[in-house]
Amino acid sequence: MGRIFAIISSVLGSIIGAGFSTGQEVFYFFSQFKETSIFYISLSSILIFLILLYLINIKIKNRIILIIFKSYILLFSIITLIVMFSAFGQLGEEFLGVSRYIFTLLCFVLSIAIFKHGLLAVININKVVVSILTTTVILIFLRSVHKNEIVFQFESLKCTLPKNISQHLIFPLLYSTYNSLLAFPVINGLKERFHKEEIKISIVISSILIFLLLSIINTILLSKSSTQTSQMPLLKVEKSIILQFILVTCAFLEILTTVLANYMGLCYSIKNSKAEFVIIIISLLLGFNQFQVLLRKLYSLMGYIGLGIIAMLSLSTLLLKDRRLK
């Protein structure tokens, strides 16, 4: 169980980044659909499970496809690093009143220091952070329910699909594709340390936890309309200074875990340490831009490209199977 918990924490730690822990990502991709957002959350959770299960078993034998896939992971890692550096700086400015440039640089220093200790350090920090964040979010949810601050719209949630689901289907597709590919380098690294069956079980549990966390955060955001204009809406929902401090601290640490996941993505894509460091520095400089703008524009862009990558990998797998049958 300890090994499975370590894998679950690593998978969740790579997915629960700045957008997730601050609520911005959940609000943009799901909360905008109000009471029907539960359908899109369910679909995203299922897709994340299926894509991760597919990626763990995939073996890319075609050299051209492998180059394209590694190039995507490289681009993906760069863009996500830019957003994460920006988020760390924005968080420091919004909640501590310190220049975001200072906190962006702090994110760079801390992440490099942790990553130098290898995969085990990444696993250990994820185990602590994911546990604290999950417990805190559930506690805030239960406190809100107890105070009757959470409004459950059960009458609106009928057992039928929303009429306009086809128009909004792109949102869960982009979200699940992006986050699954974000977790891929981490899972790929875990394959050297853990058995494949342990990773598969962990993916199942991780997908269930993602669904629960997305649903809880989404419900909280829908019930607190005053926070929805903030770049960090989840961090503004709790009035308790202690719980808000824990949330903000977790957000800082979750951004770090996502940065570490993207460092692993760089290592997967390129094998030159000097080139990796240059890319990280460029990402750091670009990360001085506004967090909300970067997240919404770049995440969607990478989601669209990711859909093409998944389609290409699936097609290559089908063609390979077809050749074997012949």
Task: Report which of 133, 148, 150, 134 is spatially closest to residue 219, judged by C-alpha positions.
Answer: 150
What torsion, rounded to 10 degrees, do the Cα atoms 50, 166, 27, 182 define?
30
pLDDT at 299: 66
Q: How far apart are CA 78 and CA 75, in angstroms?
A: 5
Q: How far apart are CA 17 and CA 19, in angstroms?
A: 6
- 251, 22 Cβ separation under 8 angstroms: yes
Task: Report which of 80, 109, 128, 103 is spatially closest to residue 262, judged by C-alpha positions.
Answer: 80
Note the pLDDT tens digit of each residue in 86-110.
Answer: 888 888 887 788 888 888 899 899 8
DSSP letter, residue 87: H
DSSP labels for 206-232? HHHHHHHHHHHHHHHHHH-GGGTTSSS
Number of domains in the chain: 1
For residue 10, give the CATH number of its domain: 1.20.1740.10
pLDDT at 171: 82
pLDDT at 157: 47
Name the stretches of the chain with pLDDT < 70. Answer: 17-19, 146-167, 225-231, 238, 290-300, 316-326
Note the pLDDT tens digit of each residue in 240-249.
Answer: 788 778 888 8
For tokens 């909280």, what's the residue? Answer: 220
Q: In which domain, by residue range, is 304 found?
A: 2-325
